[in-house]
Amino acid sequence: MATHLILQKIFKTGIVSEPPPQADPALRTREQELHAEILRVFGQAVTIRHIDAGSCNGCELEIHAINGPHYNIDGMGVKFAASPRHADVLLVTGPVSRNMEVALKRAYDATPEPKWVVAMGECACSGGMFGESYASCGKVSNVIPVDVAVPGCPPTPIVLLQGILAAVSQGRTNTAP
Amino acid sequence: MKIGEHDWNLDPLGKHIWRGRMETGQLLALARAVKEEGGQLVALWGSDDRHLASSFGIHVALLTSSGLAWVSCALPTNAPAYPDLAHIFPQADRMQRATFDLLGIRATDAVDDRKWLRHGAWPANVFPLRKDFDATLPATLDTDAYPFIRVEGEGVHEIPVGPIHAGTIEPGHFRFSIIGERILKMEERMGYTHKGTEKRFEGLDLATGAKLAGRVSGDSHSAYAWAYCMAVETATASQVPGRAVWLRALFLEIERIANHLGDLGYLGNDVALSFGFMQFWRLKEDWLRLTARLFGHRYLFDCIVPGGVAVDIHDSGKAELAAEADRIEAEVHSLKAIYDEHATLQDRFANTGVCKPDLAARLGLTGLAGRASAQAWDARAQFPQAPYDQLDVGMATQRRGDVLARAEVRFAEVVESLRLIHGLIERLPAGALHAPLAPVSAVCEGLGWVEGWRGEVVVAVRIGADGMLERVHPHDPSWQNWPLVEVGVLGNIVPDFPLINKSFNLSYSGPDL
């Protein structure tokens, strides 16, 4: 019974990753550009390890969102890994709390070269509203080298994907302290 | 205000909100009286009042039959202490430990006096929320060395998990003690996202404070921003235009629907039904895009401001929102039919991660997880602030207390919130979006209380005579609910932990502060 309903729903829903009628056309074109660019640069795939270094969980909402069917990141060759040892890109959110400083450094060290770091969101880029304090190291580049900073509170999925692409397509532009 | 036979001399501070001060000895008697009548402790926090009253303060927010009571006691400046409340309300335990870490105010005779929010970032004899705190701390971190409770015996293994988890989740540490695949004990260690939020509030202007409040836990932005603004507006005795109040409720229900849709998808995903994930996240994404089109932000960040709201909805937007609400409701019903029929999903959901009603009541389980364990509290229904007092909110409850019950409550609440959205846009009053706050001339305080999607969010605010924030305590319902995850996983198998955890979907950033 459930199988019948599932199949019915799948057929009725169709493929939302393809141009949905109500979607913003500008948005779709950029998705396709990203797709082509990642294929050109990597030829296959880019693997991301997300690390929440003290975020408010707003950025995490958008990381979840890009895993949804509209964005079809698997089709672009982007996937998320459970371990930094399997990652090409570390996607770091939040101001780095001092309680996460050691864990973030260890995850960075555990990521094999070549690796890129994307600082996602206002807090990761600049420290944001939390800044530097007794409990916060501020921006990610205060703790580990950052290749691409994606601003926004939180950055929208498209901006996030553009940031990931910027990291892997332009080589290393180190903004470390 | 009477609780039991005794009148506790509390004064009204807002609708269904009461305010009182008493001796620490009375506090214990009040807590017992509240417990006796079936109430709960919602929040506990401290303050450094030495510049105002030559004392420290301990504050509790208690849920009583007459509403929320905010009670404070003055404590001596040397060795400030108050009687342990965790033996009456176990949910006070971590709040008391955090209060010591941040302010050096001790709960006398507490069974558990281990540190909570302090890891190695500041020394044990330094208290960041004291007004004379010296921010120039040693650059090196202390080792954390947290004393976990060990389970010993033949065949017992420990699995340490986190702070960084395998998926896209916030950081925290879970220490499992297992035999075979069964969980004998799980102990949580939180505080990894502690970023000094409460200290950051100090000295901010009231408008910037609203932005920070909304970022205590980003997934509950509207709940926090509203609770904060309610507190500020109470403190300054400011009036908010009717249209703004109704729009705030609209934002809160939009936020509730977005989060519940996402959770229902992830619950499917965690039992290998990726179909469920894709379907619900399709709906959530449609909902977020519509939200962004109508109000300029996918998660409505900074739409609620002190004195009102920053964005409006027009007739075309109303029609679009109503049509989308109808479409999503029909889709949710069709997906619920599939979840109901799906044997594997039902098998994994049912009897997994059980929190029985009596235990939930004893430990103070709250919010949607509480309602799934027969804790029938929903501030929108029992103690409604405007405009909920005109909306007749239907509360969703279950008795099973398992993953299935928490999913069922979400389904029911999505449908109810979609219904409320129709009511909110149809009856939205005309008028201004915003009114200036009344000026501040003396120290004043207020409290906001909002039923967010996860549970009740409480924000207490004290404004200084200069009109700047002096002390803000935002309280997340995850404080009460995290200890119940430790209980809910007992006897379950380790592979069910992600499912159980997701069924609660608690905030780390909210209680870590």
Listed in sequence order, the residues at least 6 apart from B314 whose beta carbon sits closer than 8 Å to its beta carbon are none
Is the Cβ of B301 closer than 8 Å to some Cβ of chain A?
A: yes
- The verdict on whether omega for the bond into residue B171 sits within 30 degrees of 0, i.e. cis, is no
In the predicted structure, residue A36 carries a pLDDT above the cut 70: no
Predicted pLDDT at A159: 87
Average pLDDT over residues A69-73: 87
A43 pLDDT tier (thresholds 50, 70, 90): low
What residues of A are in contact with residue B342 (Cβ under 8 Å)?
A: 2, 6
Beta strand residue intervals within B36-135, DSSP E: 40-48, 56-64, 67-75, 81-83, 106-108
> What confidence tens digit (pLDDT) does each residue in B358-378 have?
999 999 999 999 999 999 999
> What confidence tens digit (pLDDT) does each residue in B462-487 have?
999 999 999 999 999 999 999 999 99
Give the H or E element holding residue B129: none
Average pLDDT over residues B296-311: 97
What residues of A are in contact with residue B337 (Cβ under 8 Å)?
A: 5
> CA-to-CA distance for B74 and B76, rounded, in angstroms?
7
The shortest C-alpha distance from A39 to chain B (Å) reads 24
- For β-strands A46-52 and A89-93, DSSP reports them as parallel
> CA-to-CA distance for B79 and B106, rounded, in angstroms?
8
Domain boundaries of chain A, sorted by first residue: 25-169
Looking at every residue in chain A, the average pLDDT score rounds to 81
DSSP B260-286: HHHHHHHHHHTTT-HHHHHHHHHHHHH
Predicted pLDDT at B3: 80
Average pLDDT over residues B137-151: 80
In the predicted structure, residue B124 carries a pLDDT above the cut 80: yes
3-state secondary structure B370-434: HHCCCCCCCHHHHCCCCCHHHCCCCCCCCCCCCHHHHHHHHHHHHHHHHHHHHHHHHCCCCCCCE
Is the Cβ of A153 closer than 8 Å to some Cβ of chain B?
A: yes
In the predicted structure, residue B187 carries a pLDDT above the cut 50: yes
CB neighbourhood size of A43 (10 A): 8
The shortest C-alpha distance from A43 to chain B (Å) reads 25
Give the H or E element holding residue A159: helix A157-169
Is B512 in a helix, a strand, or coil?
helix
> What confidence tens digit (pLDDT) does each residue in B167-181 have?
889 999 999 999 999
Question: Which residue in A has a C-alpha nearest to residue B201's C-alpha?
Answer: A130
In the predicted structure, residue B15 carries a pLDDT above the cut 70: yes
Query: Looking at the domain that runs over A25-169, which CATH code has it been given?
Result: 3.40.50.12280
What is the length of chain B? 513
Name which of B509, B457, B482 is nearest B42 in CA terms: B457
**For chain A, first and last CA: distance in Å?**
60
Q: Is the complex ipTM more than 0.85?
A: yes
Residue contact B509–A57, C-beta within 8 A: yes
Residue contact A99–B170, C-beta within 8 A: no
Listed in sequence order, the residues at least 6 apart from B93 whose beta carbon sits closer than 8 Å to its beta carbon are B86, B110, B111, B112, B483
Predicted pLDDT at A175: 42
In the predicted structure, residue A138 carries a pLDDT above the cut 80: yes
Name which of A138, A136, A146 is nearest A177 in CA terms: A146
Give the H or E element holding residue B146: none
**What residue ranges define each of the domains in chain B, with the CATH number in brackets?**
2-108 (3.30.460.80), 157-189 (no CATH), 197-505 (1.10.645.10)
The shortest C-alpha distance from A68 to chain B (Å) reads 6
Is the Cβ of B304 closer than 8 Å to some Cβ of chain A?
A: no
Q: Please answer whether residues A70 and A28 qualify as being in contact, where contact means their C-beta atoms are separated by less than 8 angstroms.
A: no
What pairs with residue B63 in β-bridges? B40, B68
Average pLDDT over residues B47-69: 93
- For β-strands B106-108 and B81-83, DSSP reports them as parallel
